[in-house]
Amino acid sequence: MTQVGKILVLVIMAFSLMFLGISTMVFTTSKNWKTETQKKAEEVTKIKKALTDEQARVAEARKNLDDAKAYADQEKKSLESRIRTLEDTNKRDLLAIEAVRKDLVVAEQSAKTALDEVEARRKETMLLRDQKSAVEKQANEYQLRQAELNDHIRELERMLDTATRNNKDLLERVAKYTTLLTSHGLTTDITQLRGMQNPPPVTGQVMKVDPTNKRLEISIGSDDGLVVGHQLFLYRTTPRPEYLGTGEVIAVDTDQAVLRVLGSTVQGKKIKEGDVVSSTIVPRF
């Protein structure tokens, strides 16, 4: 077989396979549409049956509604008849009540006149009785109040006597404590004494050091809560943190204070400008 014949055979085989695939796809598709159509037909049948059932129920409900309306109309007529009967009865009763009411009005007028006279006499009697009770109560209250005031006066006299003795004792104690504080060179200003008891949490720096290395000027003062007598700790942060010693405030200004070094510094080290002063850092020994 020539080369051209081989090519033609291959082409014919390719077309055959293509037509086979197309026919297979057409057959499958037609089969699926048929199945789907049957399903839809079954659904339509079910819907029609459901619709028929609903229509039957609606018809039954409508019939029940008509029966209920007829019964309601019948009951309405019966009630209207009863209402007319009751209205007639009420009219007769109202006429009878009106006649009785007129008689009651006449009786009430007579009774009211008699009651007004009795009430006037009763009020007069009650007024006199209340006035008598008020006078007696007021007299009793005056007597009780007088007794309470006498007791209160005696109590106040005892309290005054006790307070006088306590005041005298306190004045003597204050004089003794003032003399004791003055003899030790301490202030008697209560504000400074309270401040010494509760030193504020402050931190500042050494600004100036005197030649003896005993007096320092620091960058915090009374605006920060310092008073004379506060004790602060001295530190150095560079080249490494180290504790230097303790100082006491001996003079204070608004934004600075003078510190006196207490005792000797650690290992006799000199205090330098820029060292730290603080009241919140406690040294570890």
Which amino acid is it at 268? G
pLDDT band of 98, cuts 50, 70, 90: confident
Whether 76 has a pLDDT exceeding 80, the answer reads yes
Residue 285: is its pLDDT beyond 50? no
The pTM of this model reads: 0.36
Q: For the chain, what is the mean pLDDT? A: 81
pLDDT at 199 over 80: no
Higher-confidence position of 255 and 152: 255
Residue 269's SS3 state is coil
**Residue 185 pLDDT greater than 50, yes or no:** yes
- What does the pLDDT look like over 202-259, one tens digit per residue? 999 999 999 999 999 999 999 999 999 899 999 998 888 899 999 999 999 999 999 9
At 156, is the secondary structure helix, strand, or coil? helix
Residue 235 host element (H or E): strand 231-236
Give the pLDDT score at 89: 87
Higher model confidence: residue 36 or residue 38? 38
Select, from the ranges 65-74, 128-137, 171-180, 268-277, the one with the highest average predicted confidence (pLDDT): 268-277
**What percent of the chain has pLDDT above 90?**
22
Domains of the chain: 200-278 (2.40.10.340)
Q: In the prediction, which pLDDT does 245 show?
A: 92
- C-alpha angle 74-75-76 in degrees, rounded to nearest 5: 90
Run of H or E including 85: helix 3-183
Backbone angles phi, psi at 253, to 5 degrees: -125, 180
- 26-30, 68-72, 143-147, 233-237: range with highest mean pLDDT: 233-237
**Averaged pLDDT for residues 260-283:** 88
Considering only residues 114 and 184, tell me which one the structure prediction assigns the higher pLDDT. 114
How far is Cα 18 from Cα 199, in angstroms, rounded to an integer? 104
For residue 208, give Cα distances in angstroms to 28, 223, 257, 269. Answer: 107, 19, 11, 16
Residues 6+ apart with CB under 8 A from 236: 242, 244, 269, 272, 275, 276
Residue 121 has pLDDT above 90, yes or no: no
Instruction: Give pLDDT, residue 51.
Output: 78
Taking the CA of residue 94 as centre, how many other CA atoms within 13 Å lie in the half-sphere pointing to its CB?
Answer: 6
Segment 103-111 mean pLDDT:
83
How far is residue 257's CA from residue 226's CA, in Å, rounded to a whole number?
8
Q: Please report the pLDDT score of residue 178 as a whole number.
A: 66
What pLDDT, on the 0 to 100 scale, is given for residue 282?
61
**What's residue 134's pLDDT?**
85
